[in-house]
Structure 1
Amino acid sequence: MPEQTESKRPMRPEPTSFMTGLFLWTEWGMEWILYILRQMALFEILDILGKLSILVGVIFFVCEAEDRKEQKHLEAWRAIASMRNQPGNGGRIDALQSLNKDKVALMGIEVQRAYLSLINLQEANLQEANFSGSALFQANFEKAILYKAIFGCISQTALDRKCTDLYKANFQAANLSNAYLSGDLRNTSFVDASLLNAQLVKVNLQGANLDRADLKGTHLECVEGLTPEQIKHAKNWQDAHYDDKISQALGLPAKSKVNCSVLQLNSSTNRLEESVR
Structure 2
Amino acid sequence: MNAQHKKFTNLVKYLSTWRKPLIQIASLVTLLGVIVIFAKLYPFDGVGEWTGIGEDSNSKTFTTEKEINPKTEEVIKIIKKETENFQSAKTLWDWLGLGGVIAIPFALLYFERAEQRRSEKQTDTEKKIANSNLREQALEAYIDRMSELLIDKNLKVLIDKNLKETDPEYPLLDAGCDIGRARTLSVLRRLDQDGERKGSVVRFLIDAELITNLDLSSADLSSANLRDANLSKARLKGANLSSADLEGANLSSADLEDADLSSANLISAELSSANLKSANFSSATLISADLNGADLRYISPNSSSDKKLTPEQVKKAKNWKKAKYSEALCKQLGLSPEPPTRQESDFLHLS
TM-score (norm 1): 0.51
In structure 2, the residue matched to 1:249 is 332
Contact map agreement 2:198 2:224 (CA 8 A) in 1: no
Aligned partners of 1:130 and 1:76: how far apart in 2?
Answer: 15
Shift of 1:240: 0.5
Offset from partner CA, 1:145-184 (integer Å, 9 cap, x none): 11111111xxxxxxxxxx3211111111011110111222
Contact map agreement 2:216 2:236 (CA 8 A) in 1: yes
Aligned partners of 2:329 and 2:189: how far apart in 1?
Answer: 42
Offset from partner CA, 1:220-265 (integer Å, 9 cap, x none): 00122100000000001001000101000101001153423668xx
Question: Is 1:147 aligned with 2:223?
Answer: no
Aligned partners of 2:288 and 2:218: how far apart in 1?
Answer: 28
Contact map agreement 1:79 1:95 (CA 8 A) in 2: no
Contact map agreement 2:241 2:261 (CA 8 A) in 1: yes
Aligned partners of 2:283 and 2:189: how far apart in 1?
Answer: 31
Distance 1:129 1:192, change over 3 A: farther
Shift of 1:127: 4.4
How many residues are matched?
A: 165
Contact map agreement 1:200 1:218 (CA 8 A) in 2: yes
In structure 2, the residue matched to 1:225 is 308
Aligned partners of 1:105 and 1:242: how far apart in 2?
Answer: 34
Question: Is 1:207 aligned with 2:283?
Answer: yes
Match of 2:186, SS?
coil
Shift of 1:141: 1.2
Shift of 1:134: 1.2
Shift of 1:77: 2.8
Offset from partner CA, 1:19-45 (integer Å, 9 cap, x none): xxxxxxxxxxxxxxxxxxxxxxxxxxx
In structure 2, the residue matched to 1:97 is 200
Counterpart of 1:77 (choices 144, 147, 169) is 147
Give the % identical residues: 29
Aligned partners of 1:176 and 1:227: how far apart in 2?
Answer: 21
In structure 1, the residue matched to 2:100 is none
Offset from partner CA, 1:111-146 (integer Å, 9 cap, x none): xxxxxxxxxxxxxxx345531011111111111111
Structure 2 residue runs of 5 or longer lacking an equivalent are: 1-141, 151-175, 192-196, 300-306
Counterpart of 1:169 (choices 244, 260, 263) is 244
Aligned partners of 2:212 and 2:272: how far apart in 1?
Answer: 14
What does residue range 1-277 of structure 1 map to in structure 2 within 5 Å? 74-78=144-148, 84-85=181-182, 88-89=186-187, 97=200, 100=203, 105-108=207-210, 126-127=211-212, 129-152=214-237, 163-181=238-256, 182-223=258-299, 224-258=307-341, 259-260=343-344
Contact map agreement 2:330 2:336 (CA 8 A) in 1: yes
The higher-RCO structure (CA 8 Å, 6+ apart) is 1
Distance 1:178 1:261, change over 3 A: same
Distance 1:128 1:241, change over 3 A: farther
Bigger-Rg structure (1/2): 2
TM-score (norm 2): 0.41
